[in-house]
Amino acid sequence: MTVYGIHASHEQIHPADLLTAVRRAEEAGFGAAMSSDHFSPWSARQGQSGFAWSWLGAALQATGLPFGVVTAPGQRYHPAITAQAIGTLAAMNPGRFWAALGTGEASNEHITGDGWPRKDVRTARLRECVDVIRALLSGEEVSHDGLVTVDRAKLWTLPGEVTLLIGAAVSPATARWCAEWADGLITVNAPPERLREVADAYRDAGGKGKLHLQVHLSWADDDDTALAIAHEQWRTNVFRPPVCWDLELAEHFDVVAEHVTPAEVAEVVNVSSDLKWHAERLNEYASLGFEEIYLHHVGQDLIPFVDAFGEHVLPEVTA
């Protein structure tokens, strides 16, 4: 049966309010949660960006939910530090934590002052990081010289079981590449035919584990309000790669999004006041083979969304 979780967007919501929301989500019947991991929001209007790893420790303690995080080792995080963070959370919360690894975005990684590599270099760097992280989590001492450098690193606190490292992909090509190393795949909502291509590419290449999907949605009591929320908060997130990978500052995203229309936002966010319509979309995603689906209400007030979906949507999609 498909698991339906809540997405915690640190770029939009204060971490204390996010903690309140995930606790409420557990009470409302959500079965899991996942977290973003950003240094910067996508827009000055979003206005937050708490440190995910601190928050995850609190959220795992405050709930009984399993949690995941989407993170980018290699520039802002040395892979040995990522491995230590993963290992500690997994050791303290057996079977409840996974990490999805991606190549990152300049908006988070430029803070180191290092140059932002080409996509092919970022991909090769991530592959090195995956090997380093896996070896460290298995208890090995690791030295490595390449796009990342590691000198005699060893984790002294290890999880008691294998921690899943999930591949993050938005294209069939990246999904096929993830199949070489990942314990599962995560992507974001797109037209069903595109999602099918990504899922099939991963499976056809031998990809193992579960398929995870993050769904951007906006719900309110009426359609106009739902669309206004989506446009106000998420119009900086409509741009395809490489734009979303390569812009550096929230102000840059706000400038390029000045003329994005509400209709354009509705192409990448599921916008409706009709809870049955949202349930139908979620059932459609589940029919494509996605086994864990994480709902990201793009507004900044999560409690009405959590309560409405807990009462009316989750019973429909889990029946």
Preceding omega of 242 cis (within 30 degrees of 0)? yes
User: 57: Cβ–Cβ under 8 A, 6 or more apart, which residues?
Assistant: 89, 92
Q: What is the pLDDT of residue 33?
A: 98
Q: Which two tokens stand for residue 269?
A: 């966010």
Q: Mind listing the pLDDT tens digit for each residue in 98-133?
A: 999 999 999 999 999 999 999 999 999 999 999 999
- CATH number for the domain including 276? 3.20.20.30
Q: What is the pLDDT of residue 319?
A: 84
Helix, coil or strand: residue 316: helix
Residues 247-260 as b or e (16 or more Cβ within 10 Å = b):
bbebebbbeebeeb
Q: What is the pLDDT of residue 32?
A: 98
Q: What is the pLDDT of residue 2?
A: 97
Q: Mind listing the pLDDT tens digit for each residue in 200-256?
A: 999 999 999 999 999 999 999 999 999 999 999 999 999 988 999 999 999 999 999
User: 134: Cβ–Cβ under 8 A, 6 or more apart, which residues?
Assistant: 165
Residues of the chain with pLDDT under 50: none
User: 40: Cβ–Cβ under 8 A, 6 or more apart, which residues?
Assistant: 11, 49, 107, 108, 249, 250
Helix, coil or strand: residue 176: helix
Number of domains in the chain: 1
Gyration radius of the chain over CA positions? 19
Q: How far is CA 74 from the centre of its chain?
A: 17
DSSP string, 119-133: HHHHHHHHHHHHHHH
Q: What is the pLDDT of residue 46?
A: 97
Helix, coil or strand: residue 85: helix
Q: How many CB atoms lie within 10 A of CB 303?
A: 13
State which residues form the domain around 161.
Answer: 3-318
Q: What pairs with residue 77 in β-bridges?
A: 73
